[in-house]
Amino acid sequence: MPNQHKLSGVYAAVVTPLHEDGTLDQSTLPSLLEFLANRGCHGALLLGTTGEGPSFAPNERITILRAALDIRHSFPEFRLLAGTGTPSLEETIALTRASFDLGYDSVVVLPPYYYRHVSDDGLFAWFSQVILQAVPDGKLLLGYHIPGMSGVPLSIALLEKLKNSFPHRFAGLKDSSGDPENARKLGSHFGDDLFVFTGNDRLFSHALQANASGCITALANIASPSLRQVWDTFQMNQDTTEIQENLNKARAILEANTPFPPVLKSVLTHQYNFPNWTVLPPLVPFPTERAEGVAADINAILK
């Protein structure tokens, strides 16, 4: 059985709905979150990589985080996580504090990603300041391990030091390394002591077997019923192989059409009749002539 934690489950790294001028489509963000809740998600991460978090100014992030709260009118138990990491310590502290003030369940914090090859001591000092200044008692911070994007990995030694130093506020991490060996090492080293979300749909079953507590993935925007089926099947100690294989095929289509935010927004438009949301530069919209085919291919696998 996976690590049972109050935040355990299936989460979408949700896209951010944007009008053509790049402003938030405030009226449809709650509708998108309701769509995810109705399709099996326990919650959503706002302003992660798929949500284009680093592309928004702090005041824009607060507007987005506040707009998402409307989901709780119809789904009061739907869990909300906020991506708050920036290269600036001051901005990260302010965004983290604001997220908890708004009532978010947890934050997912990138390491400061401009300076690479920094020491674990430097990262520990940085995360310590965020936790001490912005994470209230009873609230939880997750690190965000995505070295392929950030260039700044979170080592097991660093995670252990943070967990030992802040046992009630540093909860674990989102592991988006895509490395099955890292998933195994995390489970083997920490057991039930660290709360781990896998960020890669291909590794969901593998990560659960390695004691992960759930997933936060891009594909969950369109494939959450299959991810929830893996989750529920695993809870019953049943075989997830067939469902996982279909998820792998769908993920392969997504990975052939990177970056993820434009293609996911296009699939949501063509397959589920959401508005034709744009993306912020440097991303560009997914070609319309390809979007319908990608949507159909993924739907054929996951239907």
Positions marked catalytic: 49, 114, 144, 174
Interaxial angle between packed helices 89-102 and 58-68, expressed in degrees from 0 to 180 and rounded to the nearest 10: 20
> Residue 58 burial (CB < 10 Å; 0-12/13-18/19+)?
middle
* Rounded CA separation 192/15 (Å): 30
Q: Show Cβ contacts of residue 111 under 8 Å, excluding neighbours closer than 6 positions.
A: 85, 123, 126, 127, 143, 144, 150, 152, 154
What the block records as the tokens of 93 is 């502290």
* Cβ(249)–Cβ(243) below 8 Å: no
Residue type, 47: L
Q: Show Cβ contacts of residue 196 under 8 Å, excluding neighbours closer than 6 positions.
A: 3, 172, 173, 174, 175, 183, 186, 187, 190, 207, 211, 212, 213
Asked if omega into 282 is within 30° of 0 (cis), the reply is yes
* Residue position matching structure tokens 């355990």: 8
